[in-house]
Structure 1
Amino acid sequence: MSGPLEQGGQVPEDENTPRIPAPRAAGDDLTAGERDGGGPFVPAPREAGGAGPPAPARPGVPAPEPDAGPPSTPEPEPPSAAEPEVPVPEPVPQESAPLAGPPSHTVLKSLLGAWALAACSTEETDAVEAHLTECAPCADEALRLRDAVGLLQAERSLDLDPMLRARVLENCLGRRPARIPVPSWASPYDAEAARLDALLNDFGDAEWHAPVRLKWFEGERPTGRRTTVAGVIGHLMAVDALVATALGLDEPVPLDPEDAAGGPTARTEALWRAGQFPLTRSVREPWREQSHTLIRTVSFAGRGVAELAVEYGEFTLAMQDAMLDRAFECWIHAGDIAEAVDYPYAPPSGAHLHDMIDLAARSLPATLADRRRAGLASPPRGLVTAGSPGRSLRLEIEGVGGGDWLIALDSPAAVASPEHEVAHVALDGVEFCRLAAGHIPPQEAAVGQLGDREAISDVLFAAASLSRL
């Protein structure tokens, strides 16, 4: 079948059929584009009011700039009758499409942090809270996050709790196991030295030179000595050296043989006079190193070291009692320092306080005998031989670290017996320790008394006489 073009006919015009120009006859003029080797020239549609299309540019020659004519606004063509005008609807503001369904568990779990910070939208908050009533793991996680946010946004003073350091240190000492087991009788000194060192940690130069009054009891009256915070640490270091020399360790400060053979007072005076450790903050490091060395040495030494004798000049203590004595003095003087700088300081733990009270109670019969020989206590009642029962006083210590002790009144060699109890005294544990440290006079001690008044007075004065510089 032949088409219209093969038969020489014309294709009927249609508005959708592109117009194809007919071929030129021979002799027709060629356009510039055809003379240059281009294809047939197809004229571009003329714009309304325009001067016609620009001439095509030759290869390698820039096209001429069109003449800038006056701007013209094309008039809209009227709609044809065949194509009626269709009104265009105005745009309608789109609203957010509602959720197709509830968010998944993963999405809601990822919103828990924002929910805890109150950063979710209303819809998200409702969805999260509805999910928390159904999902226990997410509910637990939400509570933890809310607690964490509460810690971050707590409305409280920026000043730290003054007891925070003491509580943290006590908790660490109670929970942290030591690499080297410390003997139980050395643990009080280890703890009290660590607490004192923590108190000194943030001291500036002004605090190290703060005045401190050391107090003790002599004879029938209290006495004291003024020094500084640095002087107190020097005193502790000088007396600790008595334990160090008993263990074969070197003294931190070389002393004259006469001073070295003296008791705590002579050694303290010698160290205060020495120029090697001036009474400044520089004394802290050697004191701390010495206390650590003492703990390490007794921890490695084994069981036999507990009975090793420590010479205090006028008396002798076994090593385990000497370490308790050092713990007691460390606590008492730490309280003196804290009072000087207006800082709270808590007493030792109950177990350590009990051990310190026990040492003081066991020392009372010998101290009472010394006072009797000096004419400062009433004479014994009757003849008491070694190992025989004699008069006794019941010392009841109340509160943390308390207990009951029977004190032999007539002789240290006598046996305190409940059947021969003539008096009963009751004191608070910390109050008794302050009495034994010479910080309160016997007449002012808050005690409950029952029985022989003279025996009670002798014991209270003997307790105060346990104190020394």
Structure 2
Amino acid sequence: MEQGEPAPDDESTPRIPSPRAAGDDLTAGRGNSGTFVPAPREGNRFGPPGPDRRAEPAAEPDPEPETPPPPDPEPPSSSEPEASVPEPVPPETAPVAGPPSHTVLKSLLGAWALAACSTEETDAVEAHLTECAPCADEALRLRDAVGLLHTERSLDLDPMLRARVLENCLGRRPARIPVPAWAAPYDAEAARLDALLNDFGDAEWHAPVRLKWFEEERRASRRTTVAGVIGHLMAVDALVATALGLDEPVPLDPEEAAGGPTTRTEALWRAGRFPLTRTVREPWREQSHTLIRTVSFAGRGVSELAVSYGEFALSLQDAMLDRAFECWIHAGDIAEAVDYPYDPPSGAHLHRMIDLAARILPAALAGRRRAGLASPPRGLVTAGSPGRSLRLEIEGVGGGDWLIALDSPAALPSPDHEVAHVALDGVEFCKLAAGHVSPQEAAAGQLGDREAISDVLFAAASLSRL
């Protein structure tokens, strides 16, 4: 060891911590002489370092902390010239870290109840709650309040949510080109069906579906898949599309083009252009959007445009109601196939669909009479003259009363000539008109002429088709 170098074990030798080891800035505390003087910092002490308390929360300062006395300066070496060493500047004394105070922990209870505290804060609060009864009661109340903010709800969206949102939006800012009221049911039912299909995987698209309808005096059915049902809807929607001058989804020969819904459906099912997989959804969806856009821009006069169904024709506004009705019925078939609940349309839309069926009933009854499937008329009825009538009372949402002419579609139904009264639930009547419920199974309240009641119920079932 060289002369003048202090002995490492000499306790009288002052120890000045290295700025790098202590984490201080290398330029802090350096005077004009170049000798390093440690800068004041929290927790900086001479001598051996104490336990590291940087991870603990700050505590309130102690009343009168004791400042350790500075060590004696190092005596100069006998072989070197005496040099002046500046006395070290005593650092500020940092408070000894301790647990957070009651006030601090109480202020954290709200954040703790919302699970917004850090790990250290959460541990400190929960340790405090085991010792402080008032804070524990307050924490329990806050947790209960947070539970009220997060009520348990089903993950399934309300099927009427879209309609309510659109109604609210249009009420605040109406569309420049609104959808006609007679096309709104189809718009709503196509959107509801599209939402049902949104999360379907390949297995659901190939799930078996049985389409049911009523032919003459018996029920008929056809087995297909979910994709097949969407193809069927697209094929029949094409009747409306071609009446509006839009393109056919599937090229048809003249005989198929002149056919009705069944002919068009069979042609689409046979065609390879739209395989019966999930790929059929996008063209059906695009076609439904195109129909809504077209009738919205076409103006008022388009509502009376004739749409041919092969054996009969409907006005465009009635055809759009027919398409809304079938969209809802077949959406129910799909939902049943995948074991999913599906609600009926809104009351206003359901009322329009029932009104269409009630207006068509006299013509359907006359057609069954021509085929020998219904009782003959009672007496000679001329156009516009009053004749026998049946009161159809539809109960529930979308319900109302209708007088059905019994002897001729041209006859004027009159309450003075009412011979029977039938009461049905609105959804039950729609299922009867869709061929999903037979006339014998229809839960109907009946009063009056039994033969007339039977004829009307069977005529309602004959409105169904593939």
Q: 2:302 aligns with which of 281, 302, 305?
A: 305
The unaligned stretches of length 5 or more in structure 2 are: 1-74, 83-95, 117-121
Q: 2:80 aligns with which of 58, 70, 74?
A: 58
How far residue 150 of structure 1 moved from its aligned partner, in angstroms, is: 3.8
Q: In 1, Cα distance between the equivalents of 2:315 and 2:98?
A: 89
How far residue 254 of structure 1 moved from its aligned partner, in angstroms, is: 1.2
**Partner of residue 226, structure 2:** 229
How far residue 255 of structure 1 moved from its aligned partner, in angstroms, is: 1.1
1:168 aligns with 2:161: yes
1:279 aligns with 2:272: no
1:337 aligns with 2:334: yes
**Partner of residue 189, structure 2:** 192
How far residue 252 of structure 1 moved from its aligned partner, in angstroms, is: 1.3
1:76-104 Cα shifts (integer Å, max 9, x gaps): xxxxxxxxxxxxxxxxx9999999xx99x
**Partner of residue 248, structure 2:** 251
Paired residues for 1:48-447 under 5 Å = 56-58=78-80, 112-114=110-112, 149-152=147-150, 160-162=154-156, 164-177=157-170, 179=175, 180-447=177-444
- Assess, with a 3 A threshold, how the Cα gap between structure 1 residues 462 and 114 changes in structure 2: closer, same or farther: same
Question: Do the aligned residues in 2 keep the contact of 1:166 with 1:195 (CA within 8 Å)?
Answer: yes
How far residue 193 of structure 1 moved from its aligned partner, in angstroms, is: 0.1
Please give the root-mean-square deviation of Cα atoms over the aligned residues, in Å: 3.2
1:130-164 Cα shifts (integer Å, max 9, x gaps): 9xxxxxxxxxxx99x97555445x5x59xx454x2
Describe the SS at the equivalent of 1:443.
coil
Describe the SS at the equivalent of 2:404.
strand
The unaligned stretches of length 5 or more in structure 1 are: 1-52, 61-92, 131-141
Q: In 2, Cα distance between the equivalents of 1:124 and 1:151?
A: 26
**Partner of residue 28, structure 2:** none
**Partner of residue 25, structure 1:** none
**Partner of residue 465, structure 2:** 468
How far residue 129 of structure 1 moved from its aligned partner, in angstroms, is: 9.8
1:293-347 Cα shifts (integer Å, max 9, x gaps): 0001111111011111111111110010000000000000000000111111000
- Assess, with a 3 A threshold, how the Cα gap between structure 1 residues 463 and 108 changes in structure 2: closer, same or farther: same
Question: Do the aligned residues in 2 keep the contact of 1:116 with 1:146 (CA within 8 Å)?
Answer: no
Paired AA for residue 191 in structure 1: A
Question: Do the aligned residues in 2 keep the contact of 1:246 with 1:310 (CA within 8 Å)?
Answer: yes
Question: Do the aligned residues in 1 keep the contact of 2:113 with 2:146 (CA within 8 Å)?
Answer: no
How far residue 464 of structure 1 moved from its aligned partner, in angstroms, is: 0.1
Q: In 1, Cα distance between the equivalents of 2:201 and 2:316?
A: 35
The structure with more radius of gyration: 1
Instruction: State, as a whole percentage, how many aligned pairs show the same letter.
Output: 75
Q: In 1, Cα distance between the equivalents of 2:342 and 2:167?
A: 18
Paired AA for residue 162 in structure 2: L
**Partner of residue 63, structure 1:** none
- TM-score relative to the length of structure 1: 0.71
- Assess, with a 3 A threshold, how the Cα gap between structure 1 residues 235 and 115 changes in structure 2: closer, same or farther: closer
Describe the SS at the equivalent of 2:440.
helix
- Assess, with a 3 A threshold, how the Cα gap between structure 1 residues 147 and 58 changes in structure 2: closer, same or farther: closer
**Partner of residue 23, structure 1:** none
Describe the SS at the equivalent of 2:289.
helix
- TM-score relative to the length of structure 2: 0.72
How far residue 237 of structure 1 moved from its aligned partner, in angstroms, is: 0.2
Question: Do the aligned residues in 2 keep the contact of 1:216 with 1:224 (CA within 8 Å)?
Answer: yes
Question: Do the aligned residues in 1 keep the contact of 2:208 with 2:224 (CA within 8 Å)?
Answer: yes
Q: In 2, Cα distance between the equivalents of 1:269 and 1:420?
A: 45
Question: Do the aligned residues in 1 keep the contact of 2:250 with 2:268 (CA within 8 Å)?
Answer: yes
- Assess, with a 3 A threshold, how the Cα gap between structure 1 residues 266 and 115 changes in structure 2: closer, same or farther: closer
Q: In 2, Cα distance between the equivalents of 1:356 and 1:414?
A: 23
How far residue 128 of structure 1 moved from its aligned partner, in angstroms, is: 12
Q: In 2, Cα distance between the equivalents of 1:267 and 1:450?
A: 41
Paired AA for residue 159 in structure 2: A
**Partner of residue 24, structure 1:** none
How far residue 176 of structure 1 moved from its aligned partner, in angstroms, is: 3.3
Describe the SS at the equivalent of 2:363.
helix
Question: Do the aligned residues in 2 keep the contact of 1:392 with 1:407 (CA within 8 Å)?
Answer: yes
Paired AA for residue 309 in structure 2: Y
Paired AA for residue 272 in structure 1: W
